Structure 1
Amino acid sequence: MQMTVVAKGRELTYGENLVYVNSIDLSANNLVGEIPEEITSLVALGTLNLSMNHISGRIPADIGNLRLLETLDFSNNNLSGSIPQSLSSLIFLAHLNLSHNNVLGKVPTGNQLQTLNDPSIYEGNPLLCGLPLTTKCPSEDTSNAPPLNGGGQDDSDIENDLDMTWFYISMGPGFVVGFWGVFGSLLIKKSWRLAYFQFLENMTKRIALVIALGVARLRRR
């Protein structure tokens, strides 16, 4: 008895050593429906190939439970939803193919997935983004943009900056109004002008007298 298994991208034929095969290869069988969650309990699996079928639904969230998995091929199906982050737990994974499905979102990263940097693994999924694909995720685009508040300022700093800005803006009109409020009225009213200059003259004399007395006291000492 012989059996051909597609694993790691190659066709492998097993004969007498068939009892040692720890793989499931159901590729090209016109299978429909969703991948059963129970498949993630087969923790001794080394190969899982369900490619070229009509399987829909999501990739099981607990796919990372298959710790010994070396080959995972779900290509050419109708899978949707995001790729589970638990996929990064498969530290022995050497061959991965999720191409030509409808999965979306960010390609998970970490552990063994960092070495599987071939974009063809994920091709045919137009709504996927992130490395190793050239399509950037929206979060990556905004993370490189400068902060909207001008470089890490908190709300209180922004509020203080705005207060100071309005303070300086208001200084100009305030100075004009104050200046012309005083000197404009002096120009118009002759009696006020005479009284103002008389006041300045008296103040000058008083200041001069205070200074003279102070100098005289210092000389006596």
Structure 2
Amino acid sequence: MNNLYGTIPPCLGDLSTMIQDEFSFQPNVHYLNNSKLTSEYIDYALINWQGIVREFRSTLGLVKSIDLSSNNLTGSIPCELADLHGLIALNLSMNALSGEIPPKIGLMKNLLQLDLSRNNLSGQIPTSMSQMTSIDYLDVSYNNLSGRIPSSTQLQSFEPSKYTGNGLCGPPLTKYCPGDEEKEIPHVVGQTEGGGEGMNELEIWFYIGGATGFATGFWIVCGTLLVNRRGRNAFFHFFDSWKDWVYVNVMVYTAKWP
């Protein structure tokens, strides 16, 4: 949060302590005549860590962090920064940085926090970032990035808001990448593909099932009558009796009609 402008100097990649990936820590102590003083001064700093300003004191010597956020820096991110294998936090957000994310950034295996949001970065997210298995905070939102988000356990675990404001696609975003098989859109009930009125699939199967059931039942009855003679005689006898009963009742009802 200064007024720094210009490009990020590539010589930042020469910070020897940050190149080492061992977490060595030597407390800051005053000495006088090779005798240890009884008083020690304690490091203190407020650092933007995972989107929250945190206070570091006794463990500050373990924090290998570069925070150049909220300035007026321009140009591209130096590829030399990827040589800082011991770096655990890098925040370059809210500048005017352009160009692509360094392809070798995935070699920073100890990186826990990476914030490149609100810049003018373009191109794709490097595939090497899929190797960053330790990263637990990532924000590349509001840039000009495009293409598919590399597949990895970590990159898909972040909220979609950390990728918004770009032309990115693929999980965890809901936007499909070209070539991905999109989910089939269900048909509207009662309409055909051309938009006209028609039968839906449920109605079609209802009529098919009804017709099949009627034909099956019809031929079962007819087949029984054709094969079983006694049953056929009983059926026709019943049918004749029922016909006579209907005829008599109709004639009686008609005679009583005024």
TM-score (norm 1): 0.60
Deviation at 1:142, TM superposition (A): 7.8
Q: Deviations over 1:144-177 (max 9, x none)?
A: 9xxxxxxxxxxxxxxxxxxxxxxxxxxxxxxxxx
Matched residue type, 1:140: D
Distance 2:154 2:126 in 1: 14
Please identify runs of 4+ aligned residues in structure 1 that moved more than 4 A: none
Work out whether 1:134 is the aligned partner of 2:177: no
What is the aligned partner in structure 1 of residue 98 from structure 2?
56
Work out whether 1:77 is the aligned partner of 2:119: yes
What is the aligned partner in structure 1 of residue 204 from structure 2?
none
How does 1:88-107 map onto structure 2 within 5 Å?
88-107=130-149
Distance 2:161 2:98 in 1: 21
Distance 1:30 1:42 in 2: 23
Matched residue type, 1:109: S
Deviation at 1:114, TM superposition (A): 3.1
Deviation at 1:14, TM superposition (A): 2.5
What is the aligned partner in structure 2 of residue 38 from structure 1?
80
Matched residue type, 1:3: A
Deviation at 1:29, TM superposition (A): 1.6
Work out whether 1:120 is the aligned partner of 2:127: no
Instruction: Give yes or no for contact 2:77–2:99 (8 Å, CA) kept in 1.
Output: yes
Instruction: Give yes or no for contact 2:157–2:172 (8 Å, CA) kept in 1.
Output: no
Matched residue type, 1:47: A
Matched residue type, 1:33: G
Unaligned runs of 5+ in 2: 1-42, 185-258
Q: Deviations over 1:111-142 (max 9, x none)?
A: 322322x11010111x2111111111111048
Local SS of the residue matching 1:140: coil
Identity of aligned residues (%): 45
Report how many aligned residue pairs link the two structures: 142
Of Structure 1 and Structure 2, the greater helix share is in 1
Instruction: Give yes or no for contact 1:89–1:111 (8 Å, CA) kept in 2.
Output: no
How does 1:130-209 map onto structure 2 within 5 Å?
130-141=170-181
Matched residue type, 1:22: K
Q: Deviations over 1:171-215 (max 9, x none)?
A: xxxxxxxxxxxxxxxxxxxxxxxxxxxxxxxxxxxxxxxxxxxxx
Deviation at 1:17, TM superposition (A): 3.8
Matched residue type, 1:79: L
Unaligned runs of 5+ in 1: 145-221
Instruction: Give yes or no for contact 2:127–2:150 (8 Å, CA) kept in 1.
Output: yes
Out of 54, 67, 70, the position equivalent to 1:25 is 67
TM-score (norm 2): 0.52
Aligned CA RMSD, in angstroms, stands at 1.8
Distance 1:70 1:21 in 2: 11
The 1:134–1:114 alpha-carbon spacing in structure 2 relative to 1, beyond 3 Å, is closer
Distance 2:137 2:162 in 1: 9
What is the aligned partner in structure 1 of residue 237 from structure 2?
none
Local SS of the residue matching 1:33: coil
Distance 2:58 2:74 in 1: 32
Instruction: Give yes or no for contact 2:98–2:121 (8 Å, CA) kept in 1.
Output: yes
Distance 2:46 2:52 in 1: 10
Deviation at 1:143, TM superposition (A): 11
